[in-house]
Amino acid sequence: MRLKDKVALVTGASRGIGRASSIALAKEGAVIVAAARNEGDLASLAKEIGGKTKTVACDVTKSSDVAACVKQTIEAFGRIDILINNAGIGGYRPFLDWTEEDYDRIMDTNAKSTWLFCKEVIPHMLKQKGGNIVNVSSVAGLQGYPSEGIYCMSKFAQVALAQSLDREFYQQNIKVSLVCPGGVETHFAIGDGRTEGGANMKGFSTAEDVAEAVLLAVLPRDRSRIVNVIMRPMNEMT
Ligand SMILES: NC(=O)c1ccc[n+]([C@@H]2O[C@H](COP(=O)([O-])OP(=O)(O)OC[C@H]3O[C@@H](n4cnc5c(N)ncnc54)[C@H](OP(=O)(O)O)[C@@H]3O)[C@@H](O)[C@H]2O)c1
Of all atoms in ligand 1, which is nearest to the CA of residue 110?
Answer: 45
Asked if residue 73 has its Cβ within 6 Å of ligand 1, the reply is: no
For Cα atoms 186, 174, 42, give the angle at the middle one, nearest 5 degrees: 35
Of all atoms in ligand 1, which is nearest to the CA of residue 13?
Answer: 43
Inter-residue contact 92 to 192 (CB < 8 Å): yes
Ligand 1: distance of its center to the CA of 6 in Å? Answer: 23
Say what the pLDDT of residue 159 is. 98
Mean pLDDT, rounded, for 41-47: 98
DSSP structure string for 218-235: HS--SS----EEE---TT
Q: Rounded to an integer, what distance in angstroms lies between the CA atom of residue 144 and that of residue 149?
A: 7
Asked if residue 22 has its Cβ within 6 Å of ligand 1, the reply is: no
Mean pLDDT, rounded, for 84-103: 96
Asked if residue 138 has its Cβ within 6 Å of ligand 1, the reply is: yes
pLDDT band per the 50, 70, 90 thresholds, residue 48: very high
Say what the pLDDT of residue 47 is. 98
Please report, for the chain, the start and end positions of each structural domain, with discontinuous segments joined by +: 7-230
pLDDT band per the 50, 70, 90 thresholds, residue 201: confident
Ligand 1: distance of its center to the CA of 67 in Å? Answer: 20
> Is 198's pLDDT higher than 90?
no
Ligand 1: distance of its center to the CA of 45 in Å? Answer: 15
Helices 113-128 & 149-169 angle (0-180, nearest 10)? 10
Say what the pLDDT of residue 182 is. 97
> Mean pLDDT, the chain, as a whole number?
96
Asked if residue 141 has its Cβ within 6 Å of ligand 1, the reply is: no
More confident residue, 236 or 15: 15
Q: Whose CA is nearest to atom 20 of ligand 1?
A: 188
> Is 51's pLDDT higher than 90?
no
Asked if residue 149 has its Cβ within 6 Å of ligand 1, the reply is: no
Domain 7-230 has CATH 3.40.50.720: yes
Query: Which tens digit of pLDDT belongs to each residue from 119-133?
Result: 999 999 999 999 999
Say what the pLDDT of residue 187 is. 92
Asked if residue 55 has its Cβ within 6 Å of ligand 1, the reply is: no
The CA-atom distances, in angstroms, between 17 and each of 13, 188, 235 are: 8, 10, 19
Residue numbers annotated as active site: 151
Mean pLDDT, rounded, for 198-210: 89
Q: Rounded to an integer, what distance in angstroms lies between the CA atom of residue 202 and that of residue 235?
A: 9
Ligand 1: distance of its center to the CA of 223 in Å? Answer: 32
H/E segment holding residue 238: none
CB within 8 Å of 211: residues ≥ 6 apart: 17, 20, 21, 23, 24
pLDDT band per the 50, 70, 90 thresholds, residue 10: very high
